[in-house]
Structure 1
Amino acid sequence: MRVSGAHKLSFFSETCEKIVCRLPSCSVEEFESYYCGNLLVNLPSKEASMYQNRSSRCFSCPECENVLSTAFHESKHVFFFLCLHCRWDSIELGLTDDDPDALIMTAITWERQAVQEDVFQTLYSHHSTNANCSSSKGTATDLSLISGTIFGRNNSLQLLADSMKELQREHQIKKCRLQRTEEMGGWKYDQLLTKVQEKEQWLLEQRHEHQWPELTKPLAALQTKGISWRENTPDKTREMLENLAQTCNMGQVSTLHQRLLNPLDQPREINKLFPSRPLLRVKRTWRCDESIKRGTAGILVKPQISPMSGDSSLPVSASWFKKANLAAHYVPLVTFQRLPYRDAGGSLECVLLIENPLDDAIRITFRSAPPSDADKFLPDNGQVVLQDLTPIIIGPYEDPDLVDAFVDDQPPFGANGDQPNAVLLQATRNLIKIKLPIVADLGDASPKSTISARFIMDTEKFDEDANEVIENSLLSVPVVITAPILQ
């Protein structure tokens, strides 16, 4: 059961004065900072990229994924990693050192010395080199003369796309030249046609992976280490299957999830699992797309840079966000006070509780929802019957402790002057309780069927002293109620 109005993950744009969702057409997401969720320290963007968006000084247990601690072995006089939850340790792996800081650097060094890590970097260098050369020169001859290694983590995909566009444009130009040559009756048409066919064949070959000389060494190392990643290593594959078939205790075999924590290694035996570095977390800033087009910043949510800012354990009070324009802070909150039920006459009714989160009084008007394109995706089997369209006034939000101290000073809310609304049951401070009749089209549904209906809630800020609505404060919110029917 739920009452869906403005989504709890939506925002409110003060510039455009409307609700903004998280779709790319409405809002833009930007990375503000990177930090480790265990150490709670920020990492610069360059350092985060260098450590592959993983923590630089923290490791997770390969079995239970809890954070590993550094312990000292008294008999061996070395430091090692220890999991305080499942008691896993790195002594069996040989991952020990005389200094705790050196132990962390040793673990990172072991991780980067893996053969698969070299192959990944080599393949990345290979494709980045092709992309950069094609973008700068755009010919097949230039591609064959490349011997350097270029690393471009952020721009490689864009460069590759640009190079393919350049090749396609060049191919289209040659086709146009051939067409003009044919129309002019040139005697070199056959030779030009042969060149175009060779060009098409070259473009086709570029889509397949080439084993350049720089790839020979890493690929050969993979075969000697027994990695069955190709079909030409049946002996290694057979040996691995025989070892797994003779294993009686399946607790000694690593699970798929454990292997995917280290995608470049993936050991089959659980005693060979290596600690993994947890992924970094990010803080995001959300901006309104329409406000950006108008030339303003349009910031919807902006977090604090420090991961600890706003924590209650700190001696200095602070907030988690510099700015947080959530829709829940601007749109009335609608909840069920009583689920849909049948009265004595057999009609369906439900009782809703509406809360005003604003510091100003508001005036609410209910109206039927017009049909839209979204109806075919969210079909409704019920309709809210709005017999009285008289506006209802809801008081501003106040601190409950202060309000309880001055109960007699509270002005009456809920009525629009001398015109009460028939659906209003109760009005207290910033809360109102309403009863809405519903007409359902259930057909041959079961007794425990679910009903879904929608209506529009128009809210306007209300000036209590002037007893009038504030101009340009209208906000229309669609509300969808979905709940089982109580018998």
Structure 2
Amino acid sequence: MTHLFKSEKVQYLCTCGSLKPLCRTFFCRHCLALKCGDCVFHEVDILYCSNCLENVPPGEARVKKNQCSECFECPVCDQLLLTRATNIQVPSTEDPSKLVPKKMFYLVCGFCRWTTREAGLPDQPSATGSWPDSDNANSARVAALLEHYRSLAQLDKFEKEQKRQLKRRSNYLSFTADKYSLSALAARKRSGLPFSGSLGMKKETPQIYKVESAVAFEETDDMLDPEIFTKVLNLSFVTTIDQRIRQSERQPVKSEDLIPIHKFLSVRRSQRCRFCEHNLSKPEYNPSSIKFKIHLGAFYHVPDVIIFRNSRDDMQLRLCNRSQYPTHVRLLSLDQFSSIAHSKIEELESSFGEAEKEKKSSSSMVGHELCESPATQAANFRSCLTNALKEKVNAFFQLPSEQILLPARDDLAEYELTAPQNLKDDPKAVLWRKGNKVVVSTPLTVLDDELEEKRAGFVFEFGAVRAGFETKEVQPQPTNVYIPVFISLGKI
């Protein structure tokens, strides 16, 4: 909980302009940009039951209303129902005068001890697949309404298609009838349109499924018990609003009318970058597997910032590199980043002509060409600068001016007691180093002494390696990436 609390204090600026903790973002290694859950495509990989781990095809899940047919939840406390067996005495098939034991099954909740016997459901001879479902009294009416609106949608689609064909036909025949002395048959043959007697022109108009309209009655059935005004109400025998909503087709009023609820299916999602359409997170197909085929979480590619010590005179930040490549990190103020961004934008705009400036659509370029184009890089710098300057800060860090080397992740370095001796660091800037972690000194300057929440910000400049360049023969060349970081310091 302490680590989660600290992660909410340090937030990274996404490309869409929202602030997110590092553990809730992705890092696209093709675009070299930070992506949050709001600016990625969410795709459904598989549907499965989290209890029995059975994969369900999308068509079958749609028919079953996204519910598992074998697993049930308690209607009282939403916990999973367990199957229990019991023996009962039944007449023998050979000799009815003798009683033989027979195994029967019922469902019980391990948390609130609710059972199917309380709902009046009989015990079943099979443990799975034999529990009866509740019938909805209005199912026929709902099915008729769905069929009615489905026919209206088909009719609307047919009328739009007819208007489109008439418009196409009139635009061509308006200038070919008399000017070029063509007959109607020759004109239709030259334009490629079907003949009037062909099957293409004789599409049957969809018929509207008629349904009886609803009728309002002045008198309704007496749903209330006459003793409700005189009898003492016992809330333990009355269902709550949440319990009624979970069984919306029945909406039971009494607790004895509750029945088991089918467990809803779970979804395994994959995230895809909206810009380059590369996968950022893709899980394994097996529901029981917790591994990922692709997992570009920013936590493993972007240096992590944690508040090591929080005071005005001695403000310290800990930087950690969890990627497989060493990187050089430089901390820039917002003013420094503004000057760098303007110079980068001018340099990129001068590298391509006016013709390429208009050619920004992604239809002509895909993959690395789209991400590495000067127009795309200039747009990224401009949007990053605009979003960073929108954030309000009332405190400033005294950041170190030199670059700081962060080694690659090494699990064995966690057990080393001594720090590496071949690194030359400024002792005033780098206070402590161990493995891939560095603690830097960043004294704080506050604008005013009012009792309000202090907020500071800076920009990360670090080297990242694009995807697809990891070869043993060629050493990957890192590309400088700029990510604004904002820290909530509280009241100082």
Residue 331 of structure 1 corresponds to which residue in structure 2?
302
Residue of structure 1 aligned with 2:82, choices 69, 77, 84 = 69
Report SS of the residue matched to 1:114.
Answer: coil
Return closer, same or farther for 1:252/1:412 CA change in 2, 3 Å cut-off.
Answer: farther
Give per-residue Cα distances to partners, 1:68-89, cap 9 Å, x unaligned: 1223343476432221221211
Bigger Cα displacement from structure 2, 34-43 vs 68-77: 68-77
Matched AA of 1:413: L
Residue 145 of structure 1 corresponds to which residue in structure 2?
none
Return closer, same or farther for 1:242/1:481 CA change in 2, 3 Å cut-off.
Answer: farther
Matched AA of 2:487: I
Check if 1:86 corresponds to 2:112.
Answer: yes
Report SS of the residue matched to 1:8.
Answer: helix
Paired with 1:80 and 1:14, the residues of 2 have a C-alpha distance of 53
Residue 201 of structure 2 corresponds to which residue in structure 1?
none
Check if 1:303 corresponds to 2:283.
Answer: yes
Residue 479 of structure 2 corresponds to which residue in structure 1?
473
Check if 1:127 corresponds to 2:127.
Answer: no
Where do residues 239-318 of structure 1 align in structure 2 (5 Å cutoff)?
239-240=223-224, 245=229, 246-292=231-277, 298-310=278-290
Asked if the contact 2:317/2:440 (under 8 Å) is kept, the reply is yes
Shift of 1:354: 0.6
Residue 398 of structure 1 corresponds to which residue in structure 2?
410
Shift of 1:414: 6.0
Matched AA of 2:255: I
Shift of 1:276: 1.2
Return closer, same or farther for 1:414/1:450 CA change in 2, 3 Å cut-off.
Answer: farther
Structure 1: tracts of 5 or more residues without a match: 139-162, 173-210, 220-229, 293-297, 311-319, 344-348, 463-468
Question: TM-score scaled to structure 2, two decimals?
Answer: 0.66
Residue 322 of structure 1 corresponds to which residue in structure 2?
293
Return closer, same or farther for 1:243/1:135 CA change in 2, 3 Å cut-off.
Answer: farther
Give per-residue Cα distances to partners, 1:200-245, cap 9 Å, x unaligned: xxxxxxxxxxx975457xx7xxxxxxxxxx9736543x64275654
Residue 60 of structure 2 corresponds to which residue in structure 1?
47
Paired with 1:16 and 1:334, the residues of 2 have a C-alpha distance of 22
Check if 1:358 corresponds to 2:323.
Answer: yes
Check if 1:117 corresponds to 2:127.
Answer: no
Matched AA of 2:328: R
Paired with 1:231 and 1:49, the residues of 2 have a C-alpha distance of 33
Matched AA of 1:331: V
Asked if the contact 2:328/2:462 (under 8 Å) is kept, the reply is yes
Shift of 1:435: 1.8
Return closer, same or farther for 1:239/1:96 CA change in 2, 3 Å cut-off.
Answer: closer
Question: TM-score scaled to structure 1, two decimals?
Answer: 0.67
Shift of 1:364: 0.9
Residue 430 of structure 1 corresponds to which residue in structure 2?
436
Asked if the contact 1:363/1:461 (under 8 Å) is kept, the reply is no
Give per-residue Cα distances to partners, 1:326-371, cap 9 Å, x unaligned: 11111011101112x243xxxxx42111111122221111111257
Return closer, same or farther for 1:56/1:393 CA change in 2, 3 Å cut-off.
Answer: same
Matched AA of 1:451: K
Matched AA of 1:327: A
Shift of 1:249: 0.6
Residue 423 of structure 2 corresponds to which residue in structure 1?
413
Matched AA of 1:330: H
Shift of 1:485: 3.6
Check if 1:389 corresponds to 2:373.
Answer: no
Report SS of the residue matched to 2:106.
Answer: strand
Shift of 1:7: 2.9
Report SS of the residue matched to 1:278.
Answer: strand
Matched AA of 1:426: W
Paired with 1:74 and 1:13, the residues of 2 have a C-alpha distance of 59
Asked if the contact 2:148/2:210 (under 8 Å) is kept, the reply is no
Structure 2: tracts of 5 or more residues without a match: 1-5, 13-20, 90-101, 168-207, 339-384, 466-474
Matched AA of 2:459: I
Matched AA of 1:240: L
Report SS of the residue matched to 2:24.
Answer: coil
Over the aligned positions, Cα root-mean-square deviation in angstroms equals: 3.3
Give per-residue Cα distances to partners, 1:151-187, cap 9 Å, x unaligned: xxxxxxxxxxxx6xx79999x9xxxxxxxxxxxxxxx
Residue of structure 2 aligned with 1:232, choices 205, 210, 217 = 217
Asked if the contact 1:11/1:325 (under 8 Å) is kept, the reply is yes
Return closer, same or farther for 1:269/1:424 CA change in 2, 3 Å cut-off.
Answer: same
Report SS of the residue matched to 2:263.
Answer: coil
Q: Alignment length, in residue pairs?
A: 367
Residue of structure 2 aligned with 1:452, choices 451, 455, 466 = 455
Paired with 1:373 and 1:243, the residues of 2 have a C-alpha distance of 68
Shift of 1:383: 2.2
Check if 1:11 corresponds to 2:14.
Answer: no
Check if 1:22 corresponds to 2:48.
Answer: no
Paired with 1:450 and 1:429, the residues of 2 have a C-alpha distance of 34
Asked if the contact 1:361/1:461 (under 8 Å) is kept, the reply is no
Return closer, same or farther for 1:476/1:79 CA change in 2, 3 Å cut-off.
Answer: same
Paired with 2:298 and 2:225, the residues of 1 have a C-alpha distance of 56
Shift of 1:14: 2.0
Asked if the contact 1:116/1:265 (under 8 Å) is kept, the reply is no
Asked if the contact 1:352/1:433 (under 8 Å) is kept, the reply is yes
Asked if the contact 1:362/1:460 (under 8 Å) is kept, the reply is yes
> Percent identity, aligned pairs only?
22
Matched AA of 1:129: S
Paired with 2:130 and 2:147, the residues of 1 have a C-alpha distance of 25
Return closer, same or farther for 1:288/1:461 CA change in 2, 3 Å cut-off.
Answer: closer
Residue of structure 2 aligned with 1:38, choices 51, 61, 84 = 51
